[in-house]
Amino acid sequence: MTEIEWRRRWKPDLTSIPWQPLNIDGDVYLIKCKFTQNSYELLLTNLKSFWYEELSENALKKRVQKLNPSIEASVSRILDQIKNCLESQEKGTSITIGFKDKEEENSKMVLKINSQLAGLPFCWDFVGNSADKEMASENLIVPLMAMVGELTRRQRELIKILQNKDKEIEDYKSQGGKTTRKHIETQEFVETAFENTMLMSKGFEEEVKSFGSSAFDDSGQDLYRQIMTKHSWLHRQKNDTETESSSLDEEELPVNDTSDQGRKPSTGTSWGSSRLPPSVTGPPSQKSPNKSPASSKSNTPDTSPIKDTELMRRQALERRLESDEAKKHEKTKKKKKMAF
């Protein structure tokens, strides 16, 4: 399976969802949520403690009835409302946070949302318990280290490009080339001078004051998402290859059950005259093309009419399965567009 095919089938987990800054009463938190049609996962941190909650459909319905008894809406509509409140924070939406104990580190976190749904007051409580250290590591620490490493690699590549550009410009100048406008002329790039300038710049001071609050702006979120997707691909590539190989081996075994229901679509090429399954070809010693159809059915399944019929049936089945798979992908895409 190629990486492109894998990406189309892959369903991201919580670790692959990028962090988003959440400003609550002047304090900046980082939050990430994974929503499905009937459940959600939430992870929240203030960079000192981490809180996590996972809510399934039944528990979600009970909380809706408790907090919003006058609202009748589907679970997916409720989840849409919660997600919109967290992402947009439109006018009329308030978000507050509290802790059940004075010690934040070991206490339950309650994130309260107050907004309106179809003109009616709507409130929601996220109730998070302290997350374990492993979850904190795999969702923030390790991805941040990977992001720093990737940005450092990109900086080295950009420096090489600038140095090559300087060589190219010097070559043009040696041949008498000149800029048409004086103000667009640039000085030769010197890496050490550039680094010193950055250290003394106002922007460096502002970035240190913010202490990384801009790490998950739009570009940072995209980089996080791409790194974690690539990590999942590299981590699961071996398992996917083994699964695919096992699936192909199973397809090459003799098929005793003629039922087509529940059969998975083939991951390999379609059956052709040059590659027929043993259930169609049979052992070479059993070939008896001169026998009648009646005797062939009882002894050898390798007469030409049966072979053609079996081949046509398999090809028709594969076409139908491929068509069903394409329809499923199309429905999934439409749902994703309409979801939130």
Alpha carbon distance 226, 220 (integer Å): 10
Residue 113 token pair: 């949302």
Count of all residues that appear for the chain in the document? 340
- Residue 299 C-beta-side C-alpha neighbours within 13 Å: 13
3-class SS shares of the chain: helix, strand, coil, % to 5:
55, 15, 30
DSSP per-residue letters across 89-133: --TT-EEEEEESSS-GGGSPEEEEEEEEETTEEEEEEEEEEEPPH
H/E stretch holding 297 reads helix 293-298
Residues 128, 132, 135, 138: is their CA dihedral positive or negative? positive
Q: What is the pLDDT of residue 93?
A: 87
No. of helices (H) and no. of strands (E), the chain: 11, 7
Judge: domain 19-131, CATH 3.40.50.300. no
| Type and span of the H or E element at 250 | helix 218-251
Q: How many CB atoms lie within 10 A of CB 52?
A: 20
**Single pTM value for the model:** 0.65
Of residues 62, 7, 9, 53, the one with CA closest to residue 34: 53
Distance CA 16, CA 296 (A): 57
The DSSP element (H or E) to which 160 belongs, if any, is helix 142-174
Mean confidence (pLDDT) of the chain: 78
Question: Hey, CA dihedral for 266, 272, 275, 281, is it positive or negative?
Answer: positive
Side chain identity, residue 40: Y
Burial 246-262 (b: 16+ CB within 10 A, else e): eeeeeeeeebeeeeeee
Per-residue model confidence as pLDDT tens digits over 107-144: 789 999 999 888 889 999 999 999 998 999 999 999 99
Domain positions in the chain: 19-131, 135-174+195-235
Residue that the structure tokens 């003629």 belong to: 258
The whole-number pLDDT of residue 289 equals 46
**What is the mean pLDDT of the segment spanning 285-293?**
45
40, 96 Cβ separation under 8 angstroms: no
Mean pLDDT of all residues in 210-230? 88
> Which one, of 217, 213, 66, lies nearest residue 127 by Cα?
66
- Beta-bridge partner residues of 130: 51
Tell which residue, 263, 259, 239, 238, has the closest CA to residue 250.
Answer: 263
3-state secondary structure of 51: strand
Candidates 50, 118, 40; CA nearest to 79 is 40
pLDDT given for residue 211 in this prediction: 76
Quickly state the pLDDT bin for 331 (edges 50, 70, 90): low
Q: What is the dihedral of CA 268, 270, 274, 278, to 10 degrees?
A: 80
175-187 mean pLDDT: 87
Q: In this predicted model, what pLDDT tens digit does every residue of 23-82 receive, in sequence order?
A: 888 888 999 999 999 999 999 999 889 999 999 999 999 999 999 998 888 999 999 999
